[in-house]
Amino acid sequence: MTQALPAHSTRCPQCDLEVALPSLAEGQKADCPRCGETLCALPVRVYDSVIAWALCALFFLVLSLSFPLMALNVEGVHQQITLLGSADALLKEDFTLLSDVLVLAVLLIPALFLTATLYVYGGLRRDRYLIGMRSAAQVALACRPWMMADVFLLAILVSVIKLASLADVSLGKAFWAMLLFALALTRTVSLVNGHWLLMALARVDARTLNAEDAHGFCPHCGAPHLAGQRRCTRCYSTLARRRAHSVQLTLAFLVTAIVLYVPANLYPIMVTEYLGRSDPSTILQGVLLLWQLGSYPVALVILIASVLIPIAKFLALILLLVASQHPFHDARRHTQLYRVVEFIGRWSMVDVFVVSLMVALVQMGQLMSIYPGIAALSFAGMVVFTMLAAMCFDVRLVWDAELERPRND
């Protein structure tokens, strides 16, 4: 089934430039000429490819829940865990929020994204508007930043290397199912383009506004709207010129994240009990331990993801906030910086997942046991609030400040 996208006008969601898009065929994409943002991308065999990859991802997700994830052998004592077992172990240690983060980011949100995507693309493939399709599409698009199956995979590998010096560790069948699930999920996400999806929904939904004399375009999906219209008929977003209170919300979330970052590094993130001796360790102590064990690549990954990336995000967001009020550099470069901040934010969660796995796997009484430290909760909160800060920031404010800056002739 060939699905070409007709020529139409839209606005870039990152620099607010009004762009006249040409007709796009399968396999083509259109980028913003000012900031380089991909405005629309149309995959080959869009319906069949998305549905096939989403079904594969769901299949491997079910398999990953059906088998052991990791196994540990210490002095003849054997123990193995599953994905849900890791969350249950955190619940038993009264770390309910960490358990919720693990289940939501690795299991529930990806499953919600995949089922919503299948529902929407299934209806579009039959050229029918099903009940709630538009809401399902919005849910699927909103889920994308919060899915962390690939981060969880990295955490599994880090856990194996950390425990290798203390015990015999092996990967279970669920690890390979999780690997295939993460790959299929990533591919599905790459094929789902929000602009094309909302345009396709508008084509099959008879309630969509079809106005030739449009007053403007929706800043979220680019749909035309009439003067005085408060909500977009395509994506239901509020038709405001800029995101309300963007700077204030970004600053509030950023300050909260910085405050949480302090105890996340000062207090132990994990406590190891070995032969009756308690050994608490902070994030930096864990990095030093990996370095002493000769696991240099993993030590660098943890150092970058858990220490350097949060600091870099803080500085980048501060820079963007300043640039939105007082431009001092090229707005295009600030937009590129914003994209990097959005992309790398979730990878800092790797240390939290490492703690979750090790707590579940190493529970052997006085022989050896691992418990989460209070810093794990602070660190998870820091990651979430930095992601919220980046999401609340309206990068178009940087372009507004750049265009309003007086030029020296």
pLDDT in tens, 222-240: 566 555 566 666 666 666 6
- Let me know if residue 220 belongs to a domain: no
Ramachandran angles phi, psi of 383, nearest 5°: -65, -45
- Let me know if residue 176 belongs to a domain: no
Q: Which residue has the higher pLDDT, 347 or 4?
A: 347
pLDDT, residue 198, reads: 79
Amino acid at 86: S
Q: What is the pTM of this model?
A: 0.84
Instruction: Measure CA 229 to chain center.
Output: 32
Question: CA-CA distance, 227 to 230, in Å (whole number)?
Answer: 9
- Let me know if residue 150 belongs to a domain: no
**Highest mean pLDDT of the ranges 3-12, 53-62, 210-219, 337-346:** 53-62
Q: Any idea what the CATH number is for the domain that residue 370 is in? A: 1.20.140
- Let me know if residue 299 belongs to a domain: yes
pLDDT in tens, 261-303: 999 988 988 887 766 677 788 888 888 877 877 777 778 888 8
- Let me know if residue 228 belongs to a domain: no
Closest CA to 307 of 364, 366, 356, 266: 266
Helix (H) or strand (E) holding 76: none
| Domain that includes residue 315, residue range | 242-404
CA separation (Å) from 179 to 79, 124, 172, 303, 370? 22, 29, 11, 23, 25
pLDDT, residue 231, reads: 66
Question: CA-CA distance, 311 to 306, in Å (whole number)?
Answer: 9
pLDDT, residue 237, reads: 62
- Let me know if residue 35 belongs to a domain: no
Considering the chain, what is the average pLDDT of its residues?
82
pLDDT, residue 209, reads: 46
Question: Are 72 and 86 contacting, i.e. CB atoms less than 8 angstroms apart?
Answer: no
- Let me know if residue 281 belongs to a domain: yes
pLDDT, residue 217, reads: 59
Residue 259 has pLDDT above 90, yes or no: yes
pLDDT in tens, 9-53: 788 888 888 888 888 888 888 888 888 888 888 888 888 899 999
For the residues 161-184, what does the mean pLDDT come to?
A: 86
- Let me know if residue 302 belongs to a domain: yes
Contacts of 50 (CB under 8 A, 6+ apart): 43, 117, 121, 188, 191, 192
Question: Are 72 and 163 contacting, i.e. CB atoms less than 8 angstroms apart?
Answer: yes
Residue 355 has pLDDT above 80, yes or no: yes
For the chain, give percent helix, strand, coil, nearest 5. Answer: 60, 15, 30
Considering its fold, how many domains does the chain have in total?
1
Closest CA to 298 of 124, 162, 151: 162
CA separation (Å) from 350 to 260, 269, 302? 17, 12, 8
**Highest mean pLDDT of the ranges 21-30, 61-70, 90-99:** 61-70
Instruction: Measure CA 302 to chain center.
Output: 18
pLDDT, residue 233, reads: 62
pLDDT, residue 278, reads: 73
The model's confidence at residue 1, banded by pLDDT at 50, 70 and 90, is very low
% of the chain exceeding 70 in pLDDT? 85
| Residue 230 neighbours by CB distance under 10 Å | 8
- For the chain, give the number of residues: 409
For the residues 349-378, what does the mean pLDDT come to?
A: 80
